[in-house]
């Protein structure tokens, strides 16, 4: 029986272009387009091309990283940092940028309201596209007899309650992210100098 052997010194393991990492119909492209279409001034994030000093990561890349990570249940800034090193979707989405966990957590803290607003917009779009629960058909107030429970019909009050529930979930996610980062603060594992050799 023949065995396959890997070669760590292989030169072209990945495609030449980062664009080839991701299939044309991959969902990460939708997140990229969604964040790319946002008006950052409306969100309260200032983009200053004339900024002096050490360059920081572009807010587009940071917001893409956070929204995409949160949508896949990654709440920890350390795990998001690892994803930018190991996960091709994250590498493609951030165009190869690799912010550290402190930078990710700091961006989230500084732009909490903008992030919450973006997550809410993302949830609304996903509901419109029937990608998540909440895909309900709204009528103009006409009551139609059907084989349905009164509990299943949507009123304006119920729709507003659902939007408040979405807001609460977003707030819970952001609170959970802070808690995870606090818990991980002391559990940082680094490679011992002796092991590096």
Q: Nearest-CA neighbor of 38 among 15, 17, 61, 16?
A: 61
Lookup result for tokens 């940071």: 62
Which pLDDT belongs to residue 137?
47
Q: What's the pLDDT band for 83 if we cut at 50, 70, 90?
A: very high
Q: What digits encode the pLDDT tens for the residues 139-181?
A: 455 555 666 666 777 788 888 888 888 888 888 888 888 888 8
**Triad 42, 91, 115: Cα angle to 5°:** 25
Please tell me the predicted confidence (pLDDT) of residue 106. 92
SS3 content of the chain, % helix, strand, coil (to 5): 55, 0, 45
Q: Region 73-92: what's the mean pLDDT?
A: 93
Res 188: pLDDT: 56
How many angstroms separate the CA atoms of 55 and 78, rounded?
Answer: 21
pLDDT for res 135:
42
pLDDT at 18 over 60: yes
pLDDT in tens, 25-68: 888 998 899 998 988 888 888 777 777 777 788 888 999 999 99
**Which pLDDT score, from 0 to 100, does residue 108 have?**
92
Contact between residue 70 and residue 169 where contact means Cβ atoms under 8 Å apart: no
pTM, two decimals, is 0.68
pLDDT at 136 over 50: no
């Amino acid at each position: 029986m023949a065995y396959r052997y890997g070669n760590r010194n292989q030169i072209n393991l990945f495609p030449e272009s980062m664009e080839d990492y991701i299939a044309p119909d991959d969902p990460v492209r939708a997140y990229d387009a969604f964040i790319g279409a946002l008006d950052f001034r409306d969100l309260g994030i200032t983009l200053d091309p004339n900024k002096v000093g050490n360059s920081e990561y572009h807010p587009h890349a940071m917001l893409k990283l956070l929204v995409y990570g949160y949508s896949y249940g990654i709440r920890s800034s350390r795990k998001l940092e690892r994803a930018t090193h190991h996960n091709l979707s994250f590498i493609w989405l951030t165009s190869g940028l690799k912010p550290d966990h402190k930078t990710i957590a700091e961006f989230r803290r500084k732009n909490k309201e903008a992030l919450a607003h973006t997550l809410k917009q993302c949830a609304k779009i996903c509901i419109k596209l029937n990608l998540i629960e909440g895909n309900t058909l709204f009528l103009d107030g006409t009551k139609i007899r059907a084989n349905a429970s009164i509990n299943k019909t949507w009123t304006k009050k119920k729709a507003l309650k659902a939007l408040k529930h979405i807001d609460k979930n977003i707030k819970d996610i952001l609170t959970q992210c802070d808690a995870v980062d606090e818990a991980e603060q002391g559990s940082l594992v680094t490679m011992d100098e002796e092991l590096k050799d």
